[in-house]
Structure 1
């Protein structure tokens, strides 16, 4: 037990065994704090497929939030947090935080921290203008979330600290403009395995990789069509294959398979593999030995998978989402044509390729190590 404080209570909508970006960050931060001697309690959503309470790597996980009994969740959190404890609410726009906002003044503890993983993107993009439905949806959601954050503003004063992902992130900019809060910045990080040396494979084929759960919002179809176009436009390109890695097969993955079959009719060189249910160590190995990382997501804040590609020195080509444009180590594109062009440019220019690889790896090694992020979070209540 760390003598500096009581336990650390974290409320979140996602945690182990889930593997989305926020869950991954939650897990490595809690693991790091636990290794420093802190007692950690994570309170998250109930799940019929998982036990109510368990210990995971020494961390107590309680799946106490049930949407049909919100008052029980509120009371559980209030009873769990003692006067010497640290309370960390993960994310806004989620009931595990929202239900506690009006109770913050009644929760007596050492520090209350709001850890914001981005917020609603209020700015308009070309996708919002695509059709009438998108326009009306954008108007409605902007109004809804403006009202929501007006409510949040009434309670924000009860937090001792606000943590944001990046100084250019939507959350940082919005909180500074509307609440006058600069906040602490703790960027996402990569697991230590990504910084380990890569074993050279002499006879391995050169391939591009896209790692993301299969879904329309993840933009894998853009990646697939861009890769196919790049092969057509650059017959001598060194890439032999495109590999997609997702958590599980679903309808969208099968749609991608159909698109691949159609595209292959026009170019028999096109070689695409769809993988799912791949073990974590195998996924890391696939990324380490890839030549290029492709990312077509339509909505992200600070994608951990981009951090991971930088850490292993694999250049990325990404859609212009979240704060990715501020990262070295890759190229930012819009749409199929730009991505296809970028694939050809970087694979045909050794200097560009190696510069991007080195820049991304150096940045990740300097600024995206988990131990540094754990220390930065701990420093908030030690200050």
Structure 2
């Protein structure tokens, strides 16, 4: 699963290529969610059709215009979260996967390589490898998902960040460095 606008920078084509290359049972489905159908969305449909001719049928669904509530529910029910972006600073979608205890596989962008709960890759082959590994081993998915969720609970909740801000403001008010 991936939640990202259908734009070249989010690089869903990378994810589709990796998913087609991965040796998976027919139980696995790639779900991509973007805000709207556009030219890049149409290119992704064509890419999927081309790869299907080469690799055979894969279950891929490209969704658009999905409500926030349904998107959250779909992330919570996902087995693996994928991100193929060519550029990110602090990926909110990775944080959302961590909050849902869903392990992630991401391209090496922004701070993602420092986040527990998943792995980063540089190539389509690397993404395919990790998709296969996570798909074949529920215990590994659970391990990574729990690690990400634990980190999220300790460091990334709204309450956690409000407490951190209050601490900084108290130190500033007391003329202490932070």
Which of 288, 292, 295 in structure 1 is aligned with 2:83?
A: 295
Does 2:39 align with 1:251? yes
Greater gyration radius: 1
- Larger helix fraction of residues: 2
Instruction: Report the 3-state secondary structure (helix = DSSP H, G, I; strand = E; otherwise coil) of the residue aligned with 1:243.
Output: strand
Report the CA distance between 1:325 and its aligned residue. Answer: 0.8
Unaligned runs of 5+ in 1: 1-208
Partner of 2:2 in structure 1? 210
| Correspondence for 2:18 | 226
Retained in 2: the 8 A contact 1:237–1:344? no
1:238 Cα deviation after fit: 4.2
Residues 320 and 332 in structure 1, CA contact (< 8 A), matched pair in contact too: yes
CA contact (8 A) 1:328 1:363 kept: yes
Change (3 A) 1:237 1:310: farther
For 1:244 and 1:346, the matched residues in 2 are separated by: 18
**Equivalent pair of 2:117/2:149 in contact (CA under 8 Å):** yes
Q: Partner of 2:72 in structure 1?
A: 284
1:261 Cα shift? 1.0
Whether the 8 Å CA contact 1:317–1:332 is kept in 2: the answer is yes
Higher relative contact order structure (alpha carbons within 8 Å, sequence separation ≥ 6): 2
SS at match of 2:44: helix
TM-score by length of 1: 0.43
C-alpha distance in structure 2 between counterparts of 1:298 and 1:260, whole Å: 20
CA contact (8 A) 2:21 2:55 kept: no
Equivalent position SS for 1:340: helix
Q: What SS is found at the alignment partner of 1:273?
A: strand
Measured after TM superposition, the shift of residue 269 of structure 1 is 2.7
Q: Could you give the per-residue CA deviations for residues 41-93 of structure 1, whole angstroms, max 9, x where no partner exists? A: xxxxxxxxxxxxxxxxxxxxxxxxxxxxxxxxxxxxxxxxxxxxxxxxxxxxx
Q: What is the TM-score normalised by the length of structure 2?
A: 0.90
User: What residue number does 2:176 align with?
Assistant: none
- Quote the offset at 1:358 in angstroms: 1.3
1:376 alignment partner, one of 164, 167, 171 = 164
How many aligned positions are there? 171
SS at structure 2 position matched to 1:260 = helix
